[in-house]
Amino acid sequence: MSKEDTAQAQIVHEFVMSFNRAVPDFPLMFRGTLDKAISACWPKNAKLGDRRRMLALYVQKGFDEGFRKFVECLSSPRMKMILMESFVVWGWDVEDPERFTDLMALVIEKLDEAGKEIAPELKNNPFPKMYLMDKPHDVITLTHKISELPSEDQMFLELEAIIRPKITGSVDKLQPMDFREKRKSTSTQKETLGDRIERRASIIAEHQKGAEAAKRPDERAGGAVRAAAGGTGRHRLQVPLQQHVSRAPLLRGRHRRWSRQLPHIHRLLP
């Protein structure tokens, strides 16, 4: 870890400890550098179907009354649930001018397109603020900003509207290149309704042909005898029984004992 990362990790650790002392009911702040928070949201080796979280950048300016009202909205059970499941919350305090400068540099360097939008916003009141970011196309983009002091219901509705597409399986899970590759791979396999009907008919015909070829010669002969006799049931005894003698060694138990009598049964037939 570089000296810059070590110093940043120490600042984050101090902030999280102070934050948790002020708000014991909200222990959701990420403990680590901004790079690690980004990696926790969007791992480099993530697979296509892996569920990814969004990054929530929380910025405050001291532990004043505005801070307490803002965090009170975040501390309800349903707000903590939605933040814990869908976001990595990374926080910073800009009350110290030097810390403000450090955060500006981090935002511009680490947050891609989102950083260009967030940096000017950081110069304006009010605080606290929360910036919600996603990375749909390999570039971190700003999705939503919560700067004023909303009610808990309003904040919940805003967060729910942002994460609903991800929960319901939105196409945002796929990158543009993934769509192009998917269309390319399936374009040669697409078939019309007529093609599917014809293919299904050929499969059925092939199956019937194979079943017909698999019929035993003695069954076909037996069918011919039964047809000539004009009936079924007891007329099955009129099948030439000597055809079954060769099958006797394959039979077991009482069926084998019955098969030994086959050569003598034909004497009883008219």
CATH of domain 3-176: 3.40.30.10
Which range (11-15, 65-69, 235-239) has the least confidence? 235-239
Query: What Å distances lie between residue 27 and 87, 88, 90, 91, 129, CA to CA?
Result: 13, 12, 12, 12, 18
pLDDT for the residue numbered 76: 86
Q: Which residues contact 125 (CB under 8 A, 6 or more apart)?
A: 61
pLDDT for the residue numbered 158: 86
pLDDT tens column, 115-170: 999 999 998 888 999 999 999 888 999 999 988 777 888 888 888 888 877 655 54
Which range (168-177, 209-218, 237-246) has the least confidence? 168-177
Confidence of residue 48 (pLDDT cuts 50, 70, 90): low
Confidence of residue 196 (pLDDT cuts 50, 70, 90): low
pLDDT tens column, 51-82: 678 999 999 999 988 888 888 888 888 888 88
DSSP of 100-153: HHHHHHHHHHHSHHHHHHHHHHTTSS---EEEEEE-TTSS-EEEEEE-S---HH
Task: Average the pLDDT over 93-103 and give the result.
Answer: 95
Q: Highest mean pLDDT range out of 92-96, 175-179, 213-217?
A: 92-96
Mean pLDDT of the chain: 75
pLDDT for the residue numbered 161: 86
Q: Within the chain, which residue ranges are assigned CATH 3.40.30.10?
A: 3-176
pLDDT tens column, 200-216: 567 666 766 766 776 65
Q: Which residues of 94-121 are buried (b: 16+ CB within 10 A; e: fewer)?
A: beeeeebebbbebbeeebbebbeebeee
pLDDT for the residue numbered 10: 95
